[in-house]
Amino acid sequence: MTALQERALTILARLKSLYPEATCTLNYQTPVQLLVATMLSAQCTDERVNQVTPALFSRFPDASAIAQAPRSEIEALIRSTGFYRNKAKHIQAACDMIVSEFGGNVPDTMAELLKLPGVARKTANVVLAHGYGINAGVTVDTHVKRVSHRLGLTAHSDPKQIEKDLMALLPRSEWENWSIRLIYHGRAVCKARQPLCDQCALADLCPFPLE
Catalogue the active-site residues: 122, 141
- Report the distance separating Cα 184 and Cα 210, nearest Å: 23
Q: Which amino acid is at 85?
A: R
Q: Could you give the dihedral angle defined by the CA atoms of residues 65, 69, 71 and 77, in that order, rounded to the nearest 10 degrees?
A: -70
- Report the distance separating Cα 110 and Cα 194, nearest Å: 36
Rg of the chain, C-alpha, whole Å: 18
Give the CA distances from residue 169 to residues 23, 160, 161, 173, 174, in Å, rounded to whole numbers and listed in that order. 21, 15, 13, 12, 10
Q: Which of 56, 10, 8, 18 is nearest to 35 (CA)?
A: 56
